[in-house]
Structure 1
Amino acid sequence: MKVLTAILIMTFSIFLLAGNITVVLDWYPNTNHTGIFVAKDLGFYTEEGLSVKVIQPSKLTSEQIVASGRAEFGVSYQEAVTLARGEGLPIVSICAIIQHNTSGFAWLKSEGIKSVKDWEGKKYGSWGSPIEKATIEYIMRKYGADPEKVIFVNVGQMDFFSGTLNDVFDFAWIYYGWDGVASRIKGIEIGYLSLKDLDPVFDYYTPVIITSERMIKEKPDIVRRFMRATYKGYMYAIDHPEEAARILLKYAPELDERIVIESQKYLSKEYKADSPKWGYQRKEVWERYAKWLHSMGFLKKMIDVEKAFTNEFLP
């Protein structure tokens, strides 16, 4: 057993010394990930002596894959990192891909919804998450609406437009950088309320890039080199959104070209936003949302947020 353990450790070390690393996405490739593909395509990783393989999660989540060492880096989001840390998974967020939460609730304009109060009596297209349900109930109570009057319809990953246009549900939680942009391209008028505007507690980091505590402890140089190249990738996407979009399309040709280009133009302004630099994370953002998760019973005890994220590896 000791010999096998030694061989595994040696293999892990040789693999990383050779600069071969794996990045696991949180979902299929999209404009949240553009900077990673830009860094790969334009040779920024190669310049740092890294050979990067990008994969998508299967049965396991990106958090589980990174924590287990099957990937050195991954794409996640603050909620998942916080809950994972609460369960003892040793993962750390090393940068925020987008500075502010660009998700919110949307509906067809024809629904006549003007405010949160108007959600009463409507069908909500849910993916079945307890935190999702708690978020909606919290917001409705805050704005004087009765959450018991919302009809939750579990639709899994059904597309927003398929669901609303076919009357499966009336409103849903969307990422404006994709579905909001797509609505303009499709010529479909929607109403929208941003989560961060509904309550500052929901202005958390989504998505983020994660690594493991082991990587930070044993291979900090790899983490630093990876982040240096990734930083260049996202800065390129900020400065050259259309060119960056076309690079993403090379790796994900199945995506709608018009949506990708317009989504990239939107997100390129959101990546850094009002932050002093791309990727920077603030303690108060992590603390604020962790306290909310704890108060709602999703965290058994408060985590040490200073161990959940770091800005150490930003250039």
Structure 2
Amino acid sequence: MRRYLQIAVLFFFICLPWGMGGPTPVQGSEQLQPVTYRLKWLFNVSVAGDLYTDATGIFRKNGLDVTTKEGGPERDAIKELEMGYADFGVASADQVIRARAKGAPVVVLAQLFQTNPLQWIYYPDRFTIHRLADLRGRVLGVTFGGNDEAILRTLLSKGKVGERDVTLFSVRYDYTPFYRKRVDIWPVYRNAQGVILADKLGREGESVAFLNPAAFGVIFVANSVVTAERTARENPDLVRRFIRGLMRGWTEAMHMDNHRAVLYLLQRHDPDTPRHVLDAQLAITRRMIQPTPEFSIGKLDVNGWRQTEAIMVKQKLIGSPVAIEKTFRPEFLIE
């Protein structure tokens, strides 16, 4: 299946005006180093750059035969690194910080999302959120024990809104309470479910808006590329070839010249999502990965990581700071 996608995407590229230098030739399988890469999410728009890097042969040009594996709720890339089941993975900042607090030797190579896609959807015709105090008296959807709980509690604290001033509603995968307007704000991934819900409600004549925590100064870093300390120490050439290839792939995937090719690839993996929805999802993802065309994809937001760590300490999700800066290995990205 992966080989078929490589051929199909490369053929698609050939039929397009070349962007970013055109497609990368796919080498033969000889002398390629096998690598396992565990994602955090399922194959959808949030892993567009990962899929693109694999399908267009960039990894193979770097001498790597990479098996890219889907993530999901039952998958933990950091545990797989520790057990030797994966060489590289994707994990959110809180996963990295929790793991470091437990002594796990995991290091961070690059940060994918510069804006956390975890946000809250709401109906602006019912109320608007200009200040965090506007949440007072509202029913707020939250996944207890999830990242959104930590973020939401930080927002409430920052806005001086007490828990007695709001009603916290435990969310599940069923959006019915939000559709029926029993819950005022509902956590979604802005670039994924957020687009799907906005499209569905828009066809019913409803408008939606989103509460972005970053707009109120709350930064909780999302997905980053990780590996084991031992891998970084003992096999730096492998790490360098992998992360540079991956960042090249993400950079090409986010370039507008390759938009149609990436859409084609996403449709192959996510055939049930309409093309116009995938198109909107990809546009939003692009802004979250690369805020400006000049931005170097993969750059670490050190202050954002520090704030994430501080939030976790304050909410007693970890016992004490873990000296998060010691986990960063940005040198592998330097040409």
TM-score (normalizing by structure 2): 0.79
Cα distance, 1:63 vs structure 2? 2.1
Cα distance, 1:125 vs structure 2? 2.5
- Report the counterpart of residue 182 of structure 1 in structure 2: 196
Contact 1:125 1:163 in 2 (8 A): no
The reply to whether residue 293 of structure 1 matches residue 312 of structure 2 is yes
Deviates more, 1:221-230 or 1:114-123: 114-123
- Cα distance in structure 2, aligned partners of 1:301 and 1:138: 18
- Report the counterpart of residue 51 of structure 1 in structure 2: 65
The reply to whether residue 241 of structure 1 matches residue 259 of structure 2 is yes
Cα distance, 1:94 vs structure 2? 0.9
Partner amino acid for 2:316? G
Cα distance, 1:195 vs structure 2? 0.8
Partner amino acid for 1:81? V
Partner amino acid for 2:287? K
The reply to whether residue 305 of structure 1 matches residue 333 of structure 2 is no
Query: Which of 123, 126, 132 matches 2:148?
Result: 132
- Cα distance in structure 1, aligned partners of 2:304 and 2:127: 33
- Cα distance in structure 2, aligned partners of 1:40 and 1:219: 21
The reply to whether residue 19 of structure 1 matches residue 37 of structure 2 is no
Partner amino acid for 2:309? A
Query: Which of 282, 297, 315 matches 1:278?
Result: 297
In structure 2, relative to structure 1, the CA distance for the partners of 1:163 and 1:33 (3 Å cut) is farther
In structure 2, relative to structure 1, the CA distance for the partners of 1:183 and 1:155 (3 Å cut) is closer
Question: Structure 1, unaligned stretches of length 5 or more?
Answer: 1-16
Runs of 4+ off more than 6 Å: none
- Report the counterpart of residue 41 of structure 1 in structure 2: 55
The reply to whether residue 268 of structure 1 matches residue 268 of structure 2 is no
Listed one character per residue, the Cα deviations across residues 226-255 of structure 1 (whole Å, up to 9, x for unaligned) are 112211211111212332122122233344
- Report the counterpart of residue 30 of structure 1 in structure 2: 44
Contact 1:108 1:164 in 2 (8 A): no
Partner amino acid for 1:265? A
Cα distance, 1:61 vs structure 2? 1.7
Deviates more, 1:248-257 or 1:77-86: 248-257
- Cα distance in structure 2, aligned partners of 1:27 and 1:83: 19
Listed one character per residue, the Cα deviations across residues 73-115 of structure 1 (whole Å, up to 9, x for unaligned) are 1111112111111111111121111223343222123432434
List aligned pairs for 1:110-149, cutoff 5 A: 110-114=125-129, 115-129=131-145, 132-149=148-165
- Cα distance in structure 2, aligned partners of 1:129 and 1:166: 25
Cα distance, 1:124 vs structure 2? 2.5
Taking only the aligned residue pairs, the percentage that are identical comes to 20
- Cα distance in structure 2, aligned partners of 1:169 and 1:313: 45
Q: Aligned residues, how many?
A: 295
- Cα distance in structure 1, aligned partners of 2:176 and 2:48: 26
- Report the counterpart of residue 115 of structure 2 in structure 1: 100
TM-score (normalizing by structure 1): 0.84
The reply to whether residue 197 of structure 1 matches residue 209 of structure 2 is no
The reply to whether residue 164 of structure 1 matches residue 178 of structure 2 is yes
Query: Which of 218, 231, 235 matches 1:215?
Result: 231
- Cα distance in structure 2, aligned partners of 1:209 and 1:134: 22
- Cα distance in structure 2, aligned partners of 1:271 and 1:131: 19
Cα distance, 1:176 vs structure 2? 2.0
- Cα distance in structure 2, aligned partners of 1:234 and 1:86: 30
Contact 2:120 2:211 in 1 (8 A): yes
Contact 2:154 2:311 in 1 (8 A): no
Contact 2:114 2:301 in 1 (8 A): no
Listed one character per residue, the Cα deviations across residues 274-300 of structure 1 (whole Å, up to 9, x for unaligned) are 575110114333223212322332221
- Cα distance in structure 1, aligned partners of 2:35 and 2:273: 26
Cα distance, 1:18 vs structure 2? 5.0
Question: Structure 2, unaligned stretches of length 5 or more?
Answer: 1-30
